[in-house]
Chains A and B, each alone.
Chain A
Amino acid sequence: MSDEIILKTKNLHKRYAEGTSMEVHALRGIDIEIKKGEMVAIMGPSGCGKTTLLNLLGGIDQPSEGTIYINNQDINQLTDIEVTEFRLHNIGYIFQLFNLFEFLSALDNTVLPLLLTNITKLEAEEEAKMMLRQMGLGDKIFHLPNELSGGEQQRVAVSRALLMNPAIILGDEPTGDLDQDTSTDIMNLFVSINENYKQTFLVVTHSEHIAKFCHRIIRIVDGEIVDDGKQVEK
């Protein structure tokens, strides 16, 4: 882990239905700093604002207040096109429900982000195949999601997230749909990637078991950080 700050938020607020009687103050002044190569877990009860925070960090939602720096870039200052481009190159997403395109093979699902860049389709597919092989899916690259197990599907999602060599991978309950053994496998995979490639992870979870794999646990209750956990000794 280096000292380089890869992600930093300052006084981050998110309000839904702002100015109405239905207003919900989902995040209330979140300040986080994450270093390059760090593995961070965000924990908290349901509805505490974990996923909202993740969406703001991924640039797929806008904060009501506050700033987010990723790789020293204030992503709130970017236009929609710029933030999308930024997301493509700097952020990898892994969802709880795998979120694979059911009509695309493992290879096609993985290769998608690279196809949005300038490299040729052939090169892109080569890289994706290599990534899938590394994930242990070398014999299933042409399988559709419905032909893969849950764990395998999540590995495809991880491959897709890793392919662009992002600054940070955001995982929204990445093992939430998996049994404990498979969850452990996936988290071991994260750890191995983190150790080998110094890949930064930010994982939202409500599972202590999963959180234990991370260097640091941030706990959120009612939209506020109640504990910016110390470095977990592993």
Chain B
Amino acid sequence: MSYINNLMQKTFKRRLGKNIGTLIAIALGVSLMVGVQITITSFTSTAVDFFVDAIGENDIVISGFGLPITDYESIIDTIDNSVVDYAAINARISQNVAVYNLESGDLEKRVSFTGVELNEDPVFGKFYDENGTEMRKLDLIRHFSNESHVLLGSNLIDDLNVAVGSNIKIRIGEFDPIGLKFDYKTYDLKVVGFLNDEGKGKEFGGRALWTSIDNIRSIVGFAPNQCTDINIALSSNHKENPVDNDYAIFVEGQLKLILDAENTGLIIVAFRALLLDITDEVLADVLLAFNLFGALIIFSGILLLVNIQLIQVEDRIQQLGILRAIGARRREIVRLFMVESTVLGFIGSFLGVAGGYGMSAFLVNRIGQTFFDGVIDLKPTVTIGAVVYSIVLGLILSVGAGVFPAIRASRIDVIEVIRGIKKVGRKRTGKITLGFGLTFLLGGIGIFAAQYTVYGSFFTKAGWDTAIEQWMFMGAAAAFLIGVSFLLGYLFSRKFLGNGIGLTFVGIAIAMLIFSVTQLKDVRENSQILVTLAVVLALGSIIWVGVNLKSVTNFFRTVLYKTRLKKGVSLISSKYMTSKSMRSSLTFGIFALVLTMNIFAAVYQSTYAYNTLESVEFLSGGAPIFIELDTPIANETLVNVEQDLYAVDEAITNVKGINSTIALIQVDEEVSELEIPTDIFPSYVHLIYNDTFKEGDDYIFDFMFDTSLPYFFEDYRPGGSENYQREYSHQIWDYYYNRTKFSRDGTEIDNVEGLPTVLTTSPFLLPGNIFNITSFIGTPIEVIVLANVRQYPFSQSQGLPSLLITPDFYPKLIPNFALYPKHTRYLVSTSEDFRIGRNTEIASNIEEFFNGNGSLLVQNEDFVAASAYNVWEVMLELVDFQVKTFDFLQYFVGFGLIVGALGMIIIAVRNVAERRREIGMMRAIGYKKRQIIGTIMIEIFILALLGLVMGFLNSLMLGWSFANIYDWTLILPGWRILIYTGIMIGIAIIASIVPGIRASQITPAEAIRYVG
């Protein structure tokens, strides 16, 4: 045994350079696996923390939907005596106000003015002064001794340009208990202290004014038993004891029953769970991209690793024969390779973990810079699971790829091994092939049977949009077909086996493209399916092309034969590739994956940008500026917006006011299509008069409908020309105004009862959905969704969705509507270019018109907080997160590109090192140096070309799938595709020239004696 150990050490030393190459390649492969996992985990946990951090430990919010909650103490007693187990509970009064610093002229909108009990449970956040010192109750009593004294959140200090002692003015609603409404007034406050950015200082994003609940109660005219919110914490420390979302939603349901929410009008929402759900929604696109590209990157890492290990072993088959000849037993040989592979795999994997950490450290830093403007100092979140998984996978792949060829080779006749001959015509793996065939076949049948037992059908029951069902069906079909392939391989030829497996994967990918992808509509739910598709597609195409490599290389050889001087070169290249089909397949597989990643990233970005931004102008309906007031203007004799705004800028061509209010949407639970986190949610309701958009037959504002959702008209073609879409859009408006009864056979869209129709910006409310809207002071009204309009400009208010309703049922919704004839939203047309015109400047002037010191409203202290938006810029801001995602993706796939390129070069150099003897022979025969270089280059180039074609096709299919989920037009960015293809060709050139030159420098006299 000792001679084996001795030999192992000697071999290891002698092949040090090669071993280092192998180590680097393994390390690079594992780096990709570790890096991708750590980066995705870090991003997800950071983003979730970022979103949830601001709400502290709050789990459930009970509110009166704008109206005060009366007798709140008895509500708390009821909860206290119920089965609901909570960690803390409090009552608050909170109102969004506009804050004015009259001295500096600074105005801040949407500031939370909140009053708390002085003995509020610290679970909901403590008060820390600007130096970070915790305030005691006595301090608070002193601070809030005067009704008008407030503490200021950290982010307001600079925004309002105030100091301790500054006087500020707010516009706040005062409750009218008789009219059940708020009347707005201005109120003077004095800043008595600042908070730092911990505890309550970070609530509401640091944009809050704090006082005692008694003070604010007095200011807004609430009775002593009234408040606006009751907050409930189910855990006092969510980091240590997180609350399961399902449990929070369960408690929400319990509270609704206990407090009889349906009749009392209490809005009870599992706020944290809802926020986490929304976070999931926001992150869905990003995580889809990360997971998709991550899967491809990890896959290329695996190919890299397996490839280098194959080279490492195949190089020494002859040595192995010599060992057998001198008496080494098979198990000793296998042990030799196993120890070597394990050592290399282990060291490589550990280096890979370090490299992966470095990669993720860089990427996580980029996440901080890209997504959070560098305000958060992010550290990679290293999970033991990711590290162990990567090391184990790295080891399994290294040892597997190293030992299996050795086991196979150790079975070959000794003499044949020494002479480099493989026995032919013998079914070496006959029994194994048969065994695999039967196992797969039975496995497939078994999964089909399980599928039938669980779902009552061999086929998927609920359609093709559930990952688990797809996996079961696809898995069963794949196992069955692979089993058949093995059996055909056993009975006829190995070619059947390879082709069968390759075609199985390609077939599954095509089946997914045809049947499944066309049904995918939910990015979050379907991301696993897309990742599956990406991997199956890549795997299938690599296997299939690999199996048929001979035909492919024959084709290339025939082409190259036409160039007479390349005959000798192309013969060696093509035949060598075919003889090493496994390694060649892995090589072009890496090319294919790297190109797939890069082109798909470009297609993804372009498709997204085109479909979200390019159409904004078209969809904006001719209103480049949208104005939103926090309260109606009290005294319209001072300012009549529809008349006076024309004087603000001569480019303004049209101004139209819209009445808006907040109402609640109560979803009928029988509407199963709605996948929303709660069955009740607030929405802005905009009153759209017939003449708001139209003057006679002419549309002044001509808003388009969202084409990404099921459309009202069955024959509608998404992606049609603008004229085509406009024509359909006008038909929708006609239905909307005329309230025609309609019915579509075989669909959910049925309004034979003539329910009031609404248009909505909510992606949760689809055409045909019926639900109630209520303001709780009026009668709930049943409405039906006619169509979905684009989100902008109707829904800029704090992220709430909008409903567009006709005037006739507005009074029902708000009985005292007659008291509110005033507008809070305005649509503005200008003569400026939608994108590059002066609309931002005009919007700024409009804000100045309402809020500036020269404003009549301000001078008369009847100020409103006005926000005027340039719709194009809002849209840009809206997609900012996604744009940042794409920016970040460039780094992400960039790593794949760099590591892939390095891996390719290492593999190519190693490949040449193992072929010294052949190269010596070629030189002896008469091959010139440039012909040697040519041989190596042609080889890499053919593989690169195969990879490029496959990568291109795969990325197109993935791009199409992605576009299909959103019903988007697929955009192929020609230049970027060319650039990435160019980069890949560049990598191919480097990866072929470097080893080519090395090969040409090999001394023939030494080379022909080389034995590995």
* Interface set of A (CB-CB < 8 Å, partner B): 55, 58, 60-61, 80-81, 84-85, 87-89, 93, 95, 99, 101-104, 108, 111-113, 115-116, 118, 120-121, 124, 144-147, 150, 160, 164, 177
Q: Flag if B567 contacts A88 (CB, 8 Å).
A: no
Q: Flag if B1008 contacts A95 (CB, 8 Å).
A: yes
Q: Flag if B923 contacts A84 (CB, 8 Å).
A: yes
Interface-forming stretch among B194-202, B661-669, B925-933, B954-962?
B925-933
10 A-B contacts, Cβ less than 8 Å apart? A60-B920, A81-B930, A85-B926, A99-B917, A104-B575, A113-B925, A116-B567, A145-B421, A146-B421, A146-B424
Q: Flag if A93 contacts B576 (CB, 8 Å).
A: no
Query: Taking A104-B571, A104-B575 as contacts, is the C-beta distance between A61 and B926 under 8 angstroms?
Result: no
Distance to closest chain A CB from B236 (angstroms): 71
Distance to closest chain A CB from B405 (angstroms): 16
* B-chain residues with CB within 8 Å of residue A113 when the two chains form the complex: 568, 925-926
Q: Flag if B571 contacts A84 (CB, 8 Å).
A: no
Query: Taking A102-B579, A103-B576 as contacts, is the C-beta distance between A81 and B929 under 8 angstroms?
Result: yes
Query: Taking A115-B567, A120-B564 as contacts, is the C-beta distance between A102 and B420 under 8 angstroms?
Result: yes
Q: Flag if A101 contacts B575 (CB, 8 Å).
A: yes
Q: Flag if A87 contacts B424 (CB, 8 Å).
A: no
Kindly state the interface size class of chain B when it binds its partner: 35 or more
* B-chain residues with CB within 8 Å of residue A150 when the two chains form the complex: 419
Q: Flag if B575 contacts A55 (CB, 8 Å).
A: no
Cα A145 to Cα B921 with chains together (Å): 15
Cα A55 to Cα B920 with chains together (Å): 12
The residue from A95, A111, A116 contacting B927, defined by CB atoms under 8 A apart: A116
Cα A101 to Cα B919 with chains together (Å): 10
Distance to closest chain B CB from A158 (angstroms): 13
Distance to closest chain B CB from A101 (angstroms): 6
Distance to closest chain A CB from B273 (angstroms): 63
Distance to closest chain A CB from B578 (angstroms): 7
Q: Flag if B926 contacts A116 (CB, 8 Å).
A: yes
Cα A120 to Cα B568 with chains together (Å): 11
Query: Taking A87-B924, A103-B576, A112-B571 as contacts, is the C-beta distance between A80 and B929 under 8 angstroms?
Result: yes
> What residue in chain A is nearest B567 (Cβ atoms)?
A115
Q: Flag if B1004 contacts A108 (CB, 8 Å).
A: no
> What residue in chain B is nearest A160 (Cβ atoms)?
B925
The contact string, 1 if C-beta is below 8 Å from chain A, for chain B 232-245, is 00000000000000
Cα A139 to Cα B572 with chains together (Å): 23
Cα A162 to Cα B749 with chains together (Å): 85
Q: B918 at interface (Cβ–Cβ under 8 A)?
A: yes
* B-chain residues with CB within 8 Å of residue A124 when the two chains form the complex: 567
Distance to closest chain A CB from B109 (angstroms): 75
> What residue in chain A is nearest B1007 (Cβ atoms)?
A60
Q: Flag if B929 contacts A84 (CB, 8 Å).
A: yes
* A-chain residues with CB within 8 Å of residue B923 when the two chains form the complex: 60, 84
Cα A87 to Cα B568 with chains together (Å): 15
Distance to closest chain A CB from B96 (angstroms): 77
Q: B422 at interface (Cβ–Cβ under 8 A)?
A: yes
* A-chain residues with CB within 8 Å of residue B571 when the two chains form the complex: 104, 108, 111-112, 115
Cα A150 to Cα B418 with chains together (Å): 13
Query: Taking A61-B1005, A145-B421, A147-B424 as contacts, is the C-beta distance between A115 and B926 under 8 angstroms?
Result: no
Most chain A beta carbons < 10 A, residue from B424, B567, B920, B929: B567
Cα A120 to Cα B927 with chains together (Å): 17
A116-B925, A146-B416 given; 18 more Cβ-contact pairs under 8 Å: A60-B924, A60-B1003, A60-B1004, A60-B1008, A61-B1003, A61-B1004, A84-B928, A87-B926, A89-B926, A99-B924, A101-B572, A101-B575, A103-B580, A120-B564, A121-B561, A121-B567, A145-B421, A146-B423
> What residue in chain B is nearest A95 (Cβ atoms)?
B1008
Query: Which residues of chain B from 549 to 596 have a CB within 8 Å of any chain A CB?
Result: 561, 564-565, 567-568, 571-572, 575-576, 578-580
The residue from A55, A84, A144 contacting B926, defined by CB atoms under 8 A apart: A84
* A-chain residues with CB within 8 Å of residue B568 when the two chains form the complex: 112-113, 115-116
